[in-house]
Structure 1
Amino acid sequence: MSRPFAEQFAEAWARPTPEGLMALLHPDVVLIQPHLPPIRGREASLREFRRLLAWLPQFHGEVTRWSESGGYVFIEWKMLLPLGRKTLSIPAVDRFLIRDGLGAERVVYFDQMRLIRAVAGNPQLWGGYLKYRFGR
């Protein structure tokens, strides 16, 4: 029996790399997040993870709990972003549709304004954020 998907997710986000995150995803994956168009397929997902981690190389996550039901896995976790001597913690819930043991669809729920306020309050993040958000 393979390890539960949520355990693999926790391991991948503890020390994220684009390749490690890709190992969780089905070839036909669709990633859905607030205020952005869906990201479709592994190639587009890999580009997105590379861009995110290039902007925020210290970004990582910590799973607090998870459950599964009817082919879906629900993962409650904290997105963690070190900002100087402080760490921004943003609670999130990811809902994955699992196909062949991999995430085929992911919808993430979190308060995007916490991230926006943190970026606005940290000028060293401005250039990277603008490049990440608008430099596709």
Structure 2
Amino acid sequence: MQGPQGIGKTTITNELRESLSCPPNSLRVSVLSMDDFYLPYDGLKSTAEKYPNNWLLSGRGHPGTHDLDLLHLTLTSLSVINGEATAPVETPVFDKSLFDGYGDRSSSKLTVAAPLDVVLLEGWCMG
């Protein structure tokens, strides 16, 4: 689910998860947010320092401030989660309150275990 900030992506995605999870569908659904895939604090700071004239990279949220390698690894792991002897997948949680609102990846993670039917990814500036 992609759209501009404030349009209701999270609300719609949560309602979709609820609808898909309840009978008669009864699907197992995992929801991921691009917000949880921001670079950790050190990565955000080094990106801002590397591009001091680009105010879009001075914080989090814009393209260039996400850990796309981690997102790719997570989506790849989720795509095979229903395979034989596949371990649960840990997904990151980004805490926007850390470092005076600059944010950092939390030590907490969400765990997604098989079986899994649907993965929903929501965010803006995707693709």
The answer to whether the superposition gives a TM-score over 0.5 is no
More strand by share: 1
Q: Which structure's CA Rg is the greater one?
A: 2
